[in-house]
Amino acid sequence: ASPRLAINRLRDPRWCEAWDRALAGTAGLRVRFAGSELGVLALRALQHGATHALCVERHPLDARIATGMVQKHFLGAWHARHGDAIRGWTDDERRDSFEDFTQAVDIAQADAAGAAAPCDVVVFPGIDHTLLGTGLVPALRAAHTADGGRPRVMPARATLYAMPIQWCYPDDEAGA
């Protein structure tokens, strides 16, 4: 369900415009995404001048899709840069060259060692109305700047709406 929900959000032009405005402030910074919307927000941060994007994905499938999206994004430019020279390279030479070309984006799973890299900004694109299951607290605990300080958080604020309910089981005499 996670990739399907991300695709639905990415189809919303207002949602994407809001993130583009926010990511414009990442120029020259290292950005950590707690979920990257399949790698798309990391690529947008790079387009806005971020120096590095780390996508920390909670689910293995999301990490695989984000990796594929990022690699496919860079593939055409990599081919254009190296042209026909690629044909004479070994598989290892191609792989090393491509990894150097895509070094501005890393994809990691939440429990991986690479997920602890320092950053200047932490982005939570998947915050929902409940704040449950977002991994907000563990991600903030793991995030740190290169000098050990706390990074800036996006979104910087959120409006939460709540509706009180009373739960009453049919056989509950006390009325909950």
Strand partners, 109: 57
Give the confidence band of 174 by pLDDT, cuts at 50, 70, 90: low
Say if residues 42 and 105 touch (Cβ distance below 8 Å): yes
Strand partners, 54: 32, 106
CA–CA distance, 135 with 110 (Å, rounded to integer): 9
Backbone region of residue 131 per phi and psi (left: phi > 0; alpha: psi in -120 to 50; beta: other values): left
In percent, the amount of the chain with pLDDT more than 70 equals 84
The model's pLDDT over 144-160, given as tens digits with 9 standing for 90+, comes to 788 888 888 888 776 65
The model's pLDDT over 75-115, given as tens digits with 9 standing for 90+, comes to 889 989 998 888 889 999 988 999 888 888 999 887 765 66
The model's pLDDT over 37-70, given as tens digits with 9 standing for 90+, comes to 889 999 999 999 999 999 988 888 989 999 999 9
HSE, CB side, 13 Å, CA atoms: give it for residue 163: 3
Q: Could you tell me the strand order of the sheet in which 121-123 lies?
A: 105-109, 52-57, 30-34, 121-123, 152-154
